[in-house]
Amino acid sequence: MRNASARPYFPNLDGLRFFAFLFVFISHATLFIWQGPAFLAQGDLGVSFFFVLSGFLITYLLLFEKETSGNAVKLSNFYARRILRIWPVYFITLCVGILVAHFQLMHLPFSTAFKLSAIPWYTGFIANFYLIKYPAVSVLVAVLWSISIEEQFYFVWPLILMTIRKRFIPWFLCTLILIATLFRLFHWQDYNTVAYSTFSAMSDLAIGALSGFLMFYMPALSGKVGRYCTKNKVLLLYGIFIVCLAIKMFSSLLIPHAFYPLYVALMPVVFGLLFVGIIFEQNYSVHSLFKVSRSKASTYLGKISYGLYAYHMIAITVVLYIFSLFRIEPDLAITLISFLTAIGLASLSYKYIEQKVLRLKNKLH
């Protein structure tokens, strides 16, 4: 049995969360502020990275708790910790979205309208399915779709993990990856379904969970990864990522129409595996070109990344509205101001709300 006091901590994951958010922010800034080229709108990759990170970390921590507590996980404590971590920021964002919709802000390049009929979908954490059915939703709360999927994962995955025998878990996760791939293949023409459905996103979560499972039950693998990841191989990993990113950015030009359904189905799996490679490289490689944990700025921004993600569209809306009153056209400067505003909101939230709640969360072990 492992030492329960030595709770696992992966310092480089904080910085990785920030870079995942950065993909989302650049995408939304491109779409909503300065209407830049469409190929810069790659926010789905940031969300996918968040999912893979969550799958890896939650699985590893659940397995750690299971082993250190005598083959059991106290589900009530697990759910309480997730509620304390997720709900405050989630419902603040939802309430702000509803409040702003009431004022009907003008002169914005997007809608902040919010239908009260959407509230049950959001309070029930099935907002992602609402976006599939009603895509024209307030941009202030639309970002909550991915948090809804995370909550669905947090609710279901511990129950499955405690039920299935250990030797069957990798097969179960591989089956989920296959089902998600086939689901995207079947719905490849329906963008909203592929983008927002839990059945599509679960391959990212399953890939992350599988990596967490392997690293927990095969601890020698971390040493092998550390030795295998020479600087040349690290460069190769990031080189492959850049090539795949370029292909995705210009997929309409590079992917023949006949192969596009297959591309839609397989692309998330490819990036999911690359994200796992980055997680392994950052956490275990002794030859990394740069560990993100060495940067205090990226580590801090990673710690507040949940607030950054939830509040950044509020920041963009507030900044755009203020500048619209002075008839100032959106540009890159406004993008920077929006980014700094998001950091300010997330920092205040982290200091005065999240950290206070996290003290309660940390007591639940």
pLDDT tens digits, one per residue of 248-277: 999 999 999 999 999 999 999 999 999 999
pLDDT digits 0-9 by tens, 78-109: 999 999 999 999 999 999 988 988 777 777 87
At 278, the amino acid letter reads I
pLDDT on residue 69: 77
* Banded model confidence at residue 5, pLDDT cuts 50, 70, 90: low
pTM across the whole model? 0.95
The residue length of the chain stands at: 365
Q: Which residues in 181-204 are b (16+ Cβ under 10 Å) and which e?
A: bebbeebbeeeebbbbbbbbbbbb
- d(Cα 35, Cα 29) in Å, to the nearest integer? 8
DSSP state of 330: P
Main-chain phi, psi angles of 19, to 5 degrees: -70, -30
**Mean pLDDT of the residues in the chain:** 91
Q: In this structure, what DSSP letter does residue 329 have? A: P
Q: In which residue are the tokens 């469409």 written?
A: 38
pLDDT greater than 60 at residue 1: no
Looking at the predicted structure, is the pLDDT value of residue 67 above 60?
A: yes
Statement: residue 284 has pLDDT above 80: yes
Residues of the chain with pLDDT > 90, as a percent, come to: 70
Q: How far is Cα 201 from Cα 108, in angstroms, rounded to an integer?
A: 31
pLDDT at 233 over 70: yes
Confidence class of residue 212 from pLDDT cuts 50, 70 and 90? very high
Average pLDDT in the 213-229 region?
A: 83
| Rounded to 5°, angle at Cα 119 from 116 and 121 | 130
**pLDDT score for 41:** 93
Look at residue 52 and tell me whether its pLDDT is greater than 90. yes
State pLDDT tens for residues 137-174: 888 999 999 999 999 999 999 999 989 999 999 999 99
Cα 304 from Cα 280, distance rounded (Å)? 22
| CA nearest neighbour of 294 among 49, 7, 11, 23 | 11
Most confident among 4-18, 63-77, 143-157 (mean pLDDT): 143-157
Whole-angstrom Cα distance, residue 173 to residue 175? 5
For residue 288, the model assigns a pLDDT of 86
Say which residue the tokens 């939650």 belong to: 58
User: In sequence order, which ranges of 33-118 are alpha helices (DSSP H)?
Assistant: 43-68, 75-103
What is the C-alpha separation between 140 and 251, in angstroms, rounded? 29
